[in-house]
Amino acid sequence: MLAWIPFLQPAPGMSSWWPALVIPLSLCISMAWRSVRQKDLSRYWPAVARMSAQIVVGMVALFVALAVIVRVVVPIIPVE
């Protein structure tokens, strides 16, 4: 921990479980966005849950798409 340089190196000990931080991050972003944009706060929590789910599903879809590109499309591109 003494040789760790923040913002230039990944935090030590977090590399195995950092994908789990997507859920609290999406929840906090959704809460902040919906608190500003929601006109009627009676539907606030369902809107936050729906937006959080959309963010998580979108990030998983992007992961799958990029994984397919890297593992399938890139190897068949000619080097020349």
**CA gap 52, 26 in Å, rounded:** 5
- Rounded to an integer, the average pLDDT of 47-61 is 96
**What are the distances in angstroms from CA 26 to CA 23, 49, 54, 56?**
5, 10, 9, 7
Q: Would you state the pLDDT for residue 55?
A: 96
pLDDT at residue 16 tops 90: no
pLDDT at residue 31 tops 90: yes
Task: Give the length of the chain.
Answer: 80
Q: Would you state the pLDDT for residue 1?
A: 59
pLDDT at residue 9 tops 90: no
**CA gap 59, 38 in Å, rounded:** 23
In the block, residue with structure tokens 């994984």:
67
**Per-domain boundaries in the chain:** 19-76
Q: What share of the chain is helix, strand, coil (3-state, %, to 5)?
A: 70, 0, 30
Greater model confidence, 41 or 3? 41
